Amino acid sequence: MSFGRRLIQEDVSFRVRRGEIFTVMGGSGSGKSTLLRHMIGLLRPCAGRIRYGGVDYWESSTEQQDALRRRFGVLFQGGALFSAMTLYENVALPLQLYTEANPVETRALVRFKLGLVGLRGYEEFYPSEISGGMRKRAGLARALVLDPELLFLDEPSAGLDPVSSRRLDDLILQLRDGTGASIVVISHELPSLFAIGDNGIFLDGDSKRPIAHGSPKYLLEHCDHPRVQAFLRREPVRDAGTHDKVVQDR
């Protein structure tokens, strides 16, 4: 993964199984959102392959890519709601585009999805009239509306209060158990990582490669890389890393 000649991450290799909650961890700016953009087909990786059930995304035809993408639900980091539409219209859009649901069914489905994320009653609000955390949840409702098989969530709990964040974890687990969907979650929220992560990858911004694979719980107990430990225990990095050395040399 790189932008022009600027390398972001290399040697990234992992597999997400059906019905698994896969967490992408790493410091801010380490390339998590970029990895997500590669996974959902917005950015072509400069080397390597991305396969969905054996189908190579970038090698397939445009129609195949469209069909694959229709099975994704994506929550972007900023919510990415359409600002000129109300929450109702935002969530209803995928239904109107890709299903034959009649207006009454659409209405029932939208109310159900908004209810799932705790936003019932906010149908007629515009994105600029609600808070950042609510925008995030509305974005999640839109991502969920077609019952995707693969759900990508970029920092879903950023901007949420602890109670809503906990509720969101329950919702994610419920979705996985109910629909058998695979869910890729980018998160910094430690309690939530430990609560939901079945598997994961840790991207390191300094060495520009993943430095650990495994579920957050497993990594906490078995990975002794100082930066992973610092991240998962919320402590300062305890090693003579490059930065400290520079200071000592002086």
Partner 1 sequence: MGSQATRLAAAARFPPGWTVRAETGAVVLALSGDWTLHSGLSGIPQAAAAEIELAPGHSLRIDTEAVTDWDSALPAFLLAMAERCRDQGWILDACSLPLNLRTVLKMADELSPPASARAPRPAPLLRRVGEHTLRHAGSVGEAVSLLGQVVLACGRLLQGKATYYRADAWLVLQAAGADALPIVGLVNVLVGAIIAFVGSVQLLQFGAGVLLADGVAIATVREMAAVITAVVLSGRTGAAFAAQLATMQGNEEIDALRVMGVPEVEFLVLPRVLALAVMTPLLYLYACALGIFGGFAVATGMLDLSLTAYLERTVGALNSDQFLLGASKSFVFGILVAMCGCYYGLRAGRNAAAVGEATTAAVVAGIVGVISVDAVFAVCAHALGI
Ligand X SMILES: Nc1ncnc2c1ncn2[C@@H]1O[C@H](COP(=O)(O)OP(=O)(O)O)[C@@H](O)[C@H]1O
- By CB under 6 A, name the binding residues for ligand X: 3, 8, 26, 28-34
Alpha helices of 61-149 — where are they, by DSSP H? 62-69, 87-98, 103-116, 132-144
Tell me the closest approach of the beta carbon of residue 82 to ligand X, in angstroms. Answer: 21
Task: Say which amino acid occupies 112.
Answer: F
192 binds, among Mg ion, ligand X, partner 1, none (CB under 5 to 8 A by kind): none
Would you mind telling me the total number of residues written for the chain in this entry?
250
Q: Are strands 21-26 and 182-186 parallel, antiparallel or unpaired?
A: parallel
187, burial (CB in 10 Å: exposed 0-12, middle 13-18, buried 19+):
buried
Which residue among 29, 48, 115, 241 contacts partner 1 (CB under 8 A)?
115
SS3 191: helix
29 binds, among partner 1, ligand X, Mg ion, none (CB under 5 to 8 A by kind): ligand X
Q: How many residues bind partner 1 (CB under 8 A)?
A: 42
Site residues (CB under 8 A) for partner 1, limited to 130-189: 144-147, 149, 167, 170-171, 174, 177-180
User: In Å, what is the CA distance from 237 to each residue of 8, 48, 201, 225?
Assistant: 21, 32, 19, 10
User: In Å, what is the CA distance from 78 to each residue of 26, 44, 122?
Assistant: 18, 21, 19
Structure tokens belonging to residue 36 = 């997500």
CA 167 to chain centre: 17
> What number of other Cβ atoms are within 10 A of residue 23's Cβ?
25
Which residue among 125, 194, 218, 226 contacts partner 1 (CB under 8 A)?
125
Which residue among 13, 17, 63, 100 contacts partner 1 (CB under 8 A)?
100
Over the window 18 to 57, marking each residue x when it contacts partner 1 by CB under 8 A and - when it does not, the resulting string is ----------------------------------------
55 binds, among ligand X, partner 1, Mg ion, none (CB under 5 to 8 A by kind): none
Interface positions with Mg ion (CB under 5 A): 33, 77
Residue 111 found at the interface with partner 1 (CB under 8 A): yes
Interface residues with partner 1 (CB under 8 A) are: 71, 82-84, 86, 95, 99-102, 104-105, 108-109, 111-113, 115-116, 118, 120-128, 144-147, 149, 167, 170-171, 174, 177-180
